[in-house]
Chains A and B, each alone.
Chain A
Amino acid sequence: MVGIRRGVVGKASYSLFALARNALSYHEDWREAWRSPEPKKHYKVIIVGGGGHGLATAYYLARVHGIRDIAVLEKGWIGGGNTGRNTTIIRSGYLWDESIALYEHALKLWETMSQELNFNVMFSQRGVINLSHSVHEMREMRRRYEAVRLNGVDIEMLSPSEIKKMVPIINIDPNIRYPVMGGILQRRAGTARHDAVAWGYARGADDMGVDIIQNCEVTGFRRKADGAIEGVETNRGFIGADKVGCVPAGHSAVLAEMAGFKLPIQARPLQAMVSEPVKPCIDTVVMSNAVHMYISQSDKGELVLGAGTDSYNSYAQRGSFNIAEHLMAATVELYPITSRLRMLRSWGGIVDTCPDASPILSKTPVPGLYFNCGWGTGGFKATPGSGHVFADLIANDRPNAIAAPFALDRFRTGYLVDEHGAAGVAH
């Protein structure tokens, strides 16, 4: 990169002292956070997809399993997929034991991530409230509340007036179309800076020798005579590998097709938007499954608003207008002070939705090829846990206790982990 003098500041560690020292050279001598090497001919492990999950997988393969001969291949720029497009809600209050184990594993890793990576991911445990708008939803929420408590994870039930106390801008009038009847709150839940998560894991992995190769698209798989994986075809030529882990989110089905099998996955657009910045007015995250909207406020003051998915398959990376319109209507009804707020930006990502709204962490019909996908509308929160258990799966060629329930085989046995109620559209 032009203007960046490599290795001038010998150590890559970030601290107040490093900040002060670099101020003396007008911040022109910071070392780049990761190298951009040419791909080698062969790696022990190739990770396809440089989103948060792929980068975390490479990081834990190197740190926990001592495998350092790794490349992460990313067709665009790292974090440019759903990692950089999501609304960053992090929580672990799902319904089933299997899911709580997975998401809580991730939440615990979030709590130490900035320290561990020496990179501020701005993890903010501002709490997440899930609203319910009908008697049925209240009952379902109560059930989920008990399930979460039985797993020893923090969760609270809130009445409308308790919600109003925490979120003064919310409308709890019982006469609106979808009145607020109550909610559940997880105080340890919150948000984080999405780009920083990708950059932090990239920097940490690079530090241990992992090659991060951007603008490198996988276009096919090469297999040995015995059917096992031999490597990947890319726009930069063939790259050999003993093992390949695919973490391509919205493009999971496309990569599976290249490898010759199908997945129970549908690629759907999911969109979000931010408003013009305003003074602080909401210091927590509030989600509503029934009206398909959720809200938080960024450190810059923008209201971050998330909507539902489109109902059809698409790779266009933009959602339909009617979904955005619906989101606006729900926002104005629940938060009347937003009625004259202008929206600044809206965007979409392609999410890999699974029939049971749970992820796939699995071996595949191809020996040496592993898939981590199906996170759909809600995988950002799982980033560290997903990378941690997927690294373990690749290193040991068998799932650990947390990953095991999420194997592809569940669609044969019927042992689905149905999280539509807890995941739904709300993340």
Chain B
Amino acid sequence: MQQIPCPWCGPRDDWEFHYGAEAHVARPETPSDKSDEDWMGYLYLRSNTKGPFRERWMHAAGCRRWFNVIRNTVSHEVFAVYKIGETPPPLPGEAPAAPDTTER
């Protein structure tokens, strides 16, 4: 059984959580001047990385709060957990990222 470490409740079985797929997908700042292509990107196109992946989870059967996880989608190993709005830690083997300004 895969365990997801909730930043508030600690490690829990994955079925307690709701999955939110790719993290850090920002809603367009000025929706009215976005093209249909832009909306397609925002609404539907997602990274679906094989390997370490930044994704969102929500502890549905617990504290019901959203947070971010870096998880390997092949081995299910969890590398990092960080709260919404926090600077994303680097992916394994990556240099530290710039502060996250997109999340809201």
Contacts and interface: CB of A to CB of B under 8 A. Distances in A.
The yes or no verdict on A and B being binding partners is: yes
Interface in A251-297: 251, 253-254, 257, 262-267
Contact of B48 (A263, A320, A413): A263
Contacts, number: 69
Interface in B1-41: 1-2, 13-15, 18-19, 21, 36-37, 39-41
Contacts of A263: 45, 48
B64 interface: no
B43 A320 contact: no
Interface residues of B, number: 27
A411 B73 contact: no
Contacts of B74: 314-316
Most B Cβ at <10 Å: residue of A264, A265, A310, A315 = A315
A321 B50 contact: no
A413 B43 CA distance: 12
Interface string A306-342: 0000111111100011100000000000000000000
A355 B73 CA distance: 20
B67 interface: no
A267 B48 CA distance: 7
A322 B14 CA distance: 9
Interface residues of A, number: 24
Given A254-B50, A264-B44, A311-B19, A412 B73 contact: no
B50 A315 contact: yes
Contacts of B53: 313
Nearest to A317: B74
B75 interface: yes
Contacts of B49: 253, 257
Given A311-B19, A313-B53, A313-B55, A412 B36 contact: yes
Interface string A348-369: 0000000100000000000000
Nearest to B60: A311
Contact of B14 (A253, A262, A320): A320
Contact of A316 (B36, B44, B46, B76): B76
Contacts of A257: 47-49
A310 B4 CA distance: 14
A264 B46 CA distance: 6
Contact of B73 (A311, A315, A321, A413): A315
Contacts of A355: 44
Given A262-B46, A413-B36, A314 B21 contact: no
A412 B37 contact: yes
Interface of B: 1-2, 13-15, 18-19, 21, 36-37, 39-41, 43-50, 53, 55, 73-76
Interface of A: 251, 253-254, 257, 262-267, 310-316, 320-322, 355, 411-413
9 closest Cβ contacts across the A-B interface? A253-B48, A264-B44, A262-B45, A312-B19, A322-B15, A412-B40, A411-B44, A311-B19, A411-B40
